[in-house]
Structure 1
Amino acid sequence: MADPTYTPPAVWTHDAENGGRFAAINRPTAGAREDKDLPVGEHDFQLYSLATPNGVKATIMFEELLEAGHSDAEYDAWTVNISDGSQFTSGFVDVNPNSKIPALLDSSGDQPVRIFESGAILLHLAEKFGAFLPTDHTRAEVLSWLFWQIGSAPFIGGGFGHFYAYAPEKYEYPINRYAMETKRLFDVADQRLAQSEYLGGKDYTIADIATFPWLAPFVFGTIYNEAKTFLSIDEYEHVGRWVRQLADRPGVRRGRIVNKAWGDEDEQMLERHSAADFEGKKF
């Protein structure tokens, strides 16, 4: 059956009653809604995030840097609860005017630097530490896959995930539209990974770190209800191989639970300030 038709008005207006699960926080305006400072720890890097696919990119990057021996990559990670609007406090908006996680303050230089958007954080840290980003002719390939992921995420999350799992009503057209695009993106990755061990080539890079948190939950069946079955994710065997390979990396295992505020208590980590915080945790 076709969806009911909707005729847009001449001028759109915000209806606070028609926002579904996120109605309490979604508004068509930017800026701070509450005057509140952010917590600050002892390390040069202060990360404000949540263990969503975009947030996990940053924590995996930090844990991979530490695993690789970059001891000066120690960081403090603070949970920002995006469900209660913590991303709209004045302190967070000062770091990220777009009010999205993750956001990073880097005080390792002469002047503090703010970095927002997950891809920018990965690129900043890769260049700062000279890690997970090649400097030879393969650099362009890695950056291409990094920005492929950044551009693809809204179709998967705000597109498929929203209409399939979160929208207050289920409509056939948007679900079909974004299911098709999500499967196409999986096929892009699957064909690439049939040719190459990693997205950027023979080495593990920030392209893999960026993409893993979005594709892995589909492979493991832990995102958007029954999405794994609905999208026949097991068809993408090369993506599955790559996901399981990366999931075994110690840095990935640790990074996936930092700023996690749900699940069993031994899988949660609201704050992370040192390696000792992982003691007793399941990761």
Structure 2
Amino acid sequence: MKERTEMRDDRQQSAESKPAKRGMRVAAWAALVFCAIALMASSLLAKYVTESQERAEMESSGFHISSNYLEEISQTYTVADWGDGFDILLYNYEKENVAQVSEVDMTYTVTVSEGTTVSVTDQASNVPDEDNDDIYTFGKFANTTYHTLHVTPGTTVSKGDKITVTVTTVAPYKKMLTATFSIARNSKPDYTIEDQGNGTVLVTVKTNDYADIMKVTWDPDKLSPDNTNILMAAWKDENPTGTFTVESNSTYELLFFKKSDEDVGKTSGTGTEITLS
């Protein structure tokens, strides 16, 4: 009888200890979660404090740069017509407060989406890249000034595509300005010149939104136009220049006969004038 009583006491003690263990585990998990949240909060706070300090240092040192399109928080713009490209202005002052002119020399880089090129000039139309290392210098000026970024989409960029332009300062502080541009219209035709490997060279013209006159010039010692094509019927080697009128959003093909075995290869371009050499 005594043994049974002791067994019941043991089971009761075991049952009473289980809630206590579960409570300890819950408390341990709660402590871990609290520590994780506290760590994340302190990390975010440290980042905020660091960024705030950097911004305060930039402003106090007279570091100022802005743009007519590029922003720290990227914006998206629609370009009505690529044409020969478009310009983005980079200022040595805050555009919201022209009185805040940069008091320090600045250097920066420019990156653009694949298939796009960019050229940089200062207000005097000089290239501010003395070492040709694609790091541009925005020198300290007493007055407001600007640099011009001329962005030219390549032949692989077509209507509806988007390109991104980003300026990142290298010194004395780091700041990034960026924007995305979408094309609504392309008034320049694209063309390819390709050796067909059978004694002919084919010129293919895609007009995009262009509707006017195209001009083609060729080397009469190397090529001769296919006069069976109605567009080229009046073209003669004696006067190796021909024109034809195109409609928008159309494709035209012009065939030339080779006079040598020289491989012309394949090239492409953009514009209303095509030269075959």
TM-score by length of 2: 0.22
Greater fraction of residues in helix: 1
Q: If each structure's strand is expressed as a fraction of its own residues, which one has the higher value?
A: 2
TM-score by length of 1: 0.22
State the structure with bigger RCO (CA 8 A, min sep 6), 1 or 2. Answer: 1
